[in-house]
Structure 1
Amino acid sequence: MKFQGKLFLWLSVFFLGMAVVYGLWSKEPVGTTALFLSFGLAVMVGFYLAFTARRADTGAQDREDADVADDSGELGFFSPHSWQPLLLAFGGAMAFLGIIFGWWLIYFASPFILVGLWGWVFEYYRGENRTQ
């Protein structure tokens, strides 16, 4: 993670430089704003990865003598049978269509978004997965 943190922090320096040069050269506010927002996003991701790298074990990507097989193993837990992302995506699609066709459509999308988000967050706190 240390390498990825440094990579994003260097990318943020690049975005900042390009935002200043682009803003002074073109005087176009939309592209300049997008580049400054990209700078902010790269700083946030880089800071998070650099901060987390201090608390986590050194990964294979941070060692010079590592092989590809050194980083094999379990990557994490991913829910194998969740319908909640589908419901959340449907609500999000309706909300974005509400921007196009009319803001009233967001009122119909909100229940789908809220139920999908609630169900996804608390999916393993009910039924057979509930802890006593």
Structure 2
Amino acid sequence: MRTTSRIFWILALFFLAAAVVYGLMTGYAAPMGIETVGFPALLMATGLAALIALTTQITAKKFPNQPEEDEVAPVSAQAGVQGSFAPYSWWPLWAAIGCAMAFLGVAVGWWLLGLGMIPVIVGVCGWVMEFSRNEHAH
């Protein structure tokens, strides 16, 4: 985690420097408003890299002795349960169909985006609540 944190801090500094250089070269806004997304996009990339760096840095402080930091640790040191996934779940299919409809709706028509949001919401809610049944139901 410490190495990951350092990499993302370096990326944040790079994006910040690129944003400053880009802003100085374009006057922080393109003439006649033709292209105005570059400088804010670079600032947002800086924020994203800094957010990931800060998160991994905090995680590294909470869990200091992780196997990925040990250069001589065997691969089996990181073994274990990585998550719980439903093997035969149909909910991701519905979420994917809805996402495909929603993305297609941007090109075809906004009505299709709205129609695609229905299976997205149903699929994601079903996927999240899949194991919340019987004694674990809320």
What is the CA–CA distance in structure 2 between the aligned matches of 1:78 and 1:56, rounded to whole Å? 24
Q: Which residue of 2 aligns with 1:88?
A: 95
Tell me by how many angstroms 1:57 deviates: 4.9
Q: Which residue of 2 aligns with 1:131?
A: 136
What is the CA–CA distance in structure 1 between the aligned matches of 2:57 and 2:64, rounded to whole Å? 12
Q: Which residue of 1 aligns with 2:65?
A: 58
Tell me by how many angstroms 1:75 deviates: 2.6
Q: Which residue of 2 aligns with 1:2?
A: 2
TM-score, normalised relative to structure 2: 0.79
Change (3 A) 1:48 1:87: same
What is the CA–CA distance in structure 1 between the aligned matches of 2:60 and 2:85, rounded to whole Å? 22
What is the CA–CA distance in structure 1 between the aligned matches of 2:74 and 2:114, rounded to whole Å? 53
Alignment of structure 1 residues 28-47 onto 2, 5 Å: 28=30, 29-47=36-54
Letter in 1 for 2:21: V
Deviates more, 1:28-37 or 1:116-125: 28-37
TM-score, normalised relative to structure 1: 0.82
Q: Which residue of 2 aligns with 1:76?
A: 83
Are 1:97 and 2:104 an aligned pair?
Answer: yes
What is the CA–CA distance in structure 2 between the aligned matches of 1:58 and 1:80, rounded to whole Å? 32
Unaligned runs of 5+ in 2: 31-35
CA-based RMSD of the aligned residues comes to 2.2
Tell me by how many angstroms 1:64 deviates: 4.2
What is the CA–CA distance in structure 2 between the aligned matches of 1:30 and 1:62, rounded to whole Å? 38
Letter in 1 for 2:12: S
Deviates more, 1:59-68 or 1:81-90: 59-68
Write out per-residue CA displacement over residues 10-53 of structure 1, whole angstroms, 9 at most, x where no aligned residue: 21111111111122224553232322221111111111111122
Identity over aligned pairs, percent: 39
Q: Which residue of 2 aligns with 1:14?
A: 14
Tell me by how many angstroms 1:82 deviates: 2.0
Write out per-residue CA displacement over residues 62-98 of structure 1, whole angstroms, 9 at most, x where no aligned residue: 2344344433333332332222122111111111111
